Amino acid sequence: MKIPEDKQYENLTTHLRYLNEKIIQSFNLFVKLATAIVGGVFFLNWKLVPGCLQRAKLHNAASGLFVLVSLSMIFLILRNLLAWRGYRKELSRQYPDIVLTKGCHWWISEAVMCFLIAVSCIGFLVFNPL
């Protein structure tokens, strides 16, 4: 059974939109999780007595959790970006009138997202108040 070209085009563009949404959702999820972790750390800093043994354990746990969240969100963003690029290549291959984008402008916003995640992770590790 041959799938009509308009249905193939619609399927590919639907996947492109879906992957764009997933990239944005990954960054938004990082913002929410990072905010929750930072808020929890400041609350614990306020509640726990300075010099307490629990502070050192919670410092390491919070730092590890922040690094884990950061790395997983960077991974999700990059994975979805590469999948988006694959669908875009397929779209360009099937429809030669649609030119495949070249240069760095097709991935620059995702690179900025990953850079911001990395900077916030390093900032948290340096300035963790626990």
16 within domain boundaries: yes
Q: How many domains are contained in the chain?
A: 1
Rounded to 5°, angle at Cα 92 from 6 and 19: 80
Give the DSSP letter of residue 102.
Answer: -
In a domain, 100, yes or no: yes
The residue type of 48 is L
33 found inside a domain: yes
Residue the block writes with tokens 């997983």 = 72
Span 58-112, pLDDT tens digits: 999 999 999 999 999 999 999 999 999 999 998 899 888 888 888 888 899 999 9
pTM over 0.75: yes
